[in-house]
Structure 1
Amino acid sequence: MRLASIHLYPVKSLGGVAVDEAAVEPWGLRHDRRWLVLNPDGTYLTARDEHRMLGVTAVPAAGSLTLTGLDGSRLAVAEPADGDLVPTTMSRLAQIRLAPPEAHDWLSVQFGRSLRLGWLDDPHRRPVAEDHGGLPGDPLNLSDAGPLLVATTASMRRLNDWIAEGAVERGEEVPEPLPISRFRPNLVVDDSPGAPAEPFAEDDWQRVRVGTVDFRFAEICDRCVLTTIDAATYRTGKEPIRTLSRFRKRDGKTWFGVRLIPLTGGVLRVGDEVTVS
C-alpha cells in the first residue's frame, strides 16, 4: 500500500489543506488541529452547529496561520505565545491560549456572531484518554480522541458501493460517490490496482509503518453527523451515516477509519510505502 494523500486541519472544524509532506510529532501531524474556535462562554464551536465553518480555510506556516474567509478576505495570525489562558469545555483541557484580538474580530465578522480563536500552546497538557487507546504520557492535539485519523480507499470504495446499492433498492437515483474528505482523514492509504486491499482491513491493524515512521493502532473511529454535511453547499444529507448504520453499526455508533498514535517521529511524504501488522 501507499500513502495517497496527507491532510492538515489547523483549526478544528475549519477547512483544511492537502500537503505533500508532514512532520510527525507525538501528538499528531505538525500544525494539525492546534487551533479552536470558541464562543464567549468558553464552549467550542464546530461545523456540527455552524456548517459554514467548512468553507473557511486555514493554511499553516512556521509560527503562524493564514485564514481565508467566506468573503475572500485573509488574515495572518501569529501563534500567541503570551496570549491569555481562558477556560474551555474541550475534553481533558482546562484552558486554552487566546489569539490576538484581530483574530476574534475577523471570525466574528465571518459568522455573524461573537467568537474567539484559541491556540493549544502545549499538547502535553491534553492527554489521549485511556478508553481511546491512550497510554500514560500520550499527548494529544485538539482532535476529538486520537492524534491521527487514517482512512483507506478500499473501504471508501466499498462504502460508496453500499450507498449505490441502497439507492437502487429504494428506487432512487444513484448519487455521485462521496469523497473521502467527508471523513476528514489525516492520511489516506491507497492499495495497489493489481492487489486490491480488503475493505475495512484497517480495523485489525496493530502496527503501521508509513515510510520510516511507526504508529500503533488506538481504535476504530466512531462517526458523527459532521460526515453528512456537504462542504460545498453546507447542506446536510442522510449519507454516509444511513449506510454505515446498516453495515457498520455496533454499540449504538457507526464506524469508519482508524486512529493511530505515533511511536516514532519523522516526515511522511505522499507516495510513502505503508506496511501493517
Structure 2
Amino acid sequence: MLQITELYIYPIKSMGGIRLNEAMVTDRGLQYDRRWMLIDDNNRFISQRECSQMALLKTAINDSYLVVTNNVTNTSINIPLTTRSKGFIQVTIWDDSCVSVLMRDEINAWFTKALGISVRLVYMPDDSQRLVEEKYAKHNDITSFSDAFPFLLIGQSSLDDLNTRLDNAVQIDRFRPNIVFSGAAPYCEDTIDSFTINNINFNGAKLCARCNMITINQNDSTSAKEPTKTLARYRRRDNKIYFGQNLIHNGSGKISVGDELHLISTHTDQRFIIA
C-alpha cells in the first residue's frame, strides 16, 4: 500500500518548510504553499540558488500570522495572513510574470537586514492566476510561486536508496517535496501516471530536474558537492539530474499523513525512466 508519510509546505519560496500532519489541497497546491516570495530590485524572484542564507529563515503559521524566524539572530517577524499591502506589482518567476501584492516597508526592511541584500516580499492573491506550462496542463492548471508545478512527490524509499550510496546521509528537506510516501520500490514515482488521495486526482507531469539547491544544508546554509555528485552517477539524463515527480491535480479537500495513494495507472515511457 502506498501511504503518505510526510507533508510539507514552504510558505515563502525558497525558505524553510513546515511539516504538517494534514493539509488542504487548493486550486494551486497545498494551502499557503509558496504564496509569498522575495524579489530583487528588478522584481525578479530570489532563491537559495543566489542566496543560500535564505535556508536560515524558518517559517511557522498560527491562526493570524506567518511567522518567520532568523535562526542566526533569533529574531522574528509576524506577517498577517490577511494581507495588508502597499499595492500591486508585476513580478517574474523564471519565464512567467504575474501580479502580486507588495508587502509593507517594515517587512521588506526586516528581510533586507536578515539577508544583507535588497529584497522585498510579495504575496500571490487569489485572483492572480499563474498557469502551469501548457504542454503539461490538463485542466488549465495553475500553481503558486513554485518553480513550475503545484506539487512535488518523492518516495521515502528513493531517499533511503540515495543515502545508502552517500558517506553522509541527507535529509528530505534538501529536495523540498510536498508529499512523501512509503510502500513502494525506490524511484517508483518516476512511472506513476495517475492516483487519487481522498478522491482528489493527481497526475504525474514530469520528473523534477534538480539544481544546486539540493547541495545546500538546510540547517546551516553551507554547501558541498553531494548529493549531486552521487546522483549524477545514476540519475542523469540529457545533462540533467532527476529526483522526484512533479504533479498536477484536479479537485480540493484535505489530505493527511497516513492517507493512502490509490494508484490508477503507471507508464513505461522511456523519456521518464532513468537507468
TM-score by length of 2: 0.89
Q: What is the SS of the residue equivalent to 2:206?
A: strand
Counterpart residue identity of residue 161, structure 2: R
Partners of 1:208 and 1:87 lie apart in 2 by 35
Do residues 96 (structure 1) and 83 (structure 2) align? no
Structure 1 residue 210, shift from structure 2 partner: 2.3
Do residues 252 (structure 1) and 216 (structure 2) align? no
Partners of 2:58 and 2:85 lie apart in 1 by 25
Q: What pairs up with 1:88-127 in 2 under 5 angstroms?
A: 88-90=91-93, 91-122=95-126, 124-127=128-131
Distance 1:123-1:49 versus aligned 2 partners, 3 A rule: farther
Residue identity over aligned pairs, in percent, reads: 30
Counterpart residue identity of residue 201, structure 2: D
Structure 1 residue 25, shift from structure 2 partner: 0.9
Correspondence for 1:177: 169
Correspondence for 2:17: 16
Flag structure 1 segments of 5+ consecutive residues without an equivalent: 164-174, 192-196
Partners of 1:158 and 1:66 lie apart in 2 by 35
Correspondence for 2:221: 234
Deviations 1:134-158, CA, capped at 9 Å, x for gaps: 2352111111011010111111122
Q: Please say which of residues 121-130 and 141-150 is displaced more in the overlay.
A: 121-130
Counterpart residue identity of residue 159, structure 2: M
Partners of 1:143 and 1:259 lie apart in 2 by 11
Q: Please say which of residues 89-98 and 17-26 is displaced more in the overlay.
A: 89-98
> How big is the alpha-carbon RMSD for the aligned residues of Structure 1 and Structure 2?
1.7
Q: What is the SS of the residue equivalent to 2:96?
A: coil
Structure 1 residue 61, shift from structure 2 partner: 4.4
Distance 1:262-1:62 versus aligned 2 partners, 3 A rule: farther
Correspondence for 1:130: 134
Structure 1 residue 62, shift from structure 2 partner: 5.5
Partners of 2:120 and 2:78 lie apart in 1 by 15
Counterpart residue identity of residue 101, structure 2: R
Do residues 205 (structure 1) and 192 (structure 2) align? yes
Counterpart residue identity of residue 185, structure 2: E
Deviations 1:177-236, CA, capped at 9 Å, x for gaps: 111211010111012xxxxx2211111111122234221111111101000001122111
Correspondence for 1:170: none
Correspondence for 1:72: 74
Flag structure 2 segments of 5+ consecutive residues without an equivalent: 266-275
Partners of 2:260 and 2:75 lie apart in 1 by 39
Correspondence for 2:182: 190
The structure whose residues are more often strand, as a share, is: 2
Structure 1 residue 3, shift from structure 2 partner: 0.5
Distance 1:123-1:273 versus aligned 2 partners, 3 A rule: farther
Partners of 1:83 and 1:150 lie apart in 2 by 36
Counterpart residue identity of residue 206, structure 2: E
Q: How many residues are paired up?
A: 260
Partners of 1:232 and 1:154 lie apart in 2 by 23
Partners of 2:202 and 2:145 lie apart in 1 by 19
Partners of 2:260 and 2:163 lie apart in 1 by 25
Partners of 1:156 and 1:12 lie apart in 2 by 22
